Amino acid sequence: MKAAFDAKRSPVLHRKESGYSSPPCYAHEIAPDYFGEPPIMSAEEIVRFLNTLLEAERAGAKLVAALLSEHEPHTPAWKRLADVQRDEAKNCAILIDLIERMSDTASPATSDFLRKALAVQGKAARLQLLNCAQSWVARMINEALPYMEQGFVRGPLFAMQESHLLNIEACEELAKTLEAGWQRDPR
């Protein structure tokens, strides 16, 4: 029988939490069954994980909506953000569908990240916060995928991770452009 997934025993999560120390330094933290059959996430753990992602994606979609309202419509920056928002909204729909296919209920909540991000002033600063959230989502998916067996969940999550990586690059470029503009015209 396979062991249940336990994030505290995940060598990947341990490594990241301890700041990517060199391999010999974290060898003692590796779960006993790491090199054998990997532990898997239970259905309950997967739903909890999907709901956490859903709340984060909902916050992302709302944050990008706020950013869009601060940009001149149909400019290159606005179009790039609109693409990101389309992906965030699509991810919410995908996550809700996955949770329902797991015969469970999707969370109606939005991550508290939104409130914190909207309290920050400045387009570039908000974009950087958005990218922090996008990086967090991509990392969480990357770390959880090895512990999931359900193909119908793995496929969409892998695609979601890929789209986040592309959007992170796009938002980084946009933030640089905004920062350069601010330095030329700091109003």
Cβ-based neighbour number of residue 142 at 10 Å:
16
Nearer to Fe ion, 55 or 57 (CB): 57
Nearer to Fe ion, 46 or 84 (CB): 84
Nearer to Fe ion, 133 or 178 (CB): 133
Nearer to Fe ion, 46 or 63 (CB): 63
Nearer to Fe ion, 120 or 180 (CB): 120
**In angstroms, what is the minimal distance from the CB of 91 to Fe ion?**
6
Grouping H, G, I as helix, E, B as strand and the rest as coil, residue 40 is strand
Which amino acid, residue 3? A
Query: How is 60-125 classified by DSSP, letter by letter?
Result: HHHHHHHHHHTS-TTSHHHHHHHHHHHHHHHHHHHHHHHHHHTT--------THHHHHHTS-SHHH
Stretch that binds Fe ion, among 39-47, 54-62, 73-81, 116-124 (CB under 5 A): 54-62
**In angstroms, what is the minimal distance from the CB of 72 to Fe ion?**
24
> Does 39 engage in binding with Fe ion (CB under 5 A)?
no
Rounded distance, CA 122 to CA 63, Å? Answer: 13
* Helices 151-184 + 43-69 axis angle, to 10: 30
Closest residue to Fe ion: CB criterion: 60
The number of residues that bind Fe ion (CB under 5 A) is 4
Grouping H, G, I as helix, E, B as strand and the rest as coil, residue 42 is coil
> Does 60 engage in binding with Fe ion (CB under 5 A)?
yes
**In angstroms, what is the minimal distance from the CB of 99 to Fe ion?**
16
**Which residues in 85-104 contact Fe ion (CB under 5 A)?**
88
Give residues in contact with Fe ion (CB under 5 A): 57, 60, 88, 137
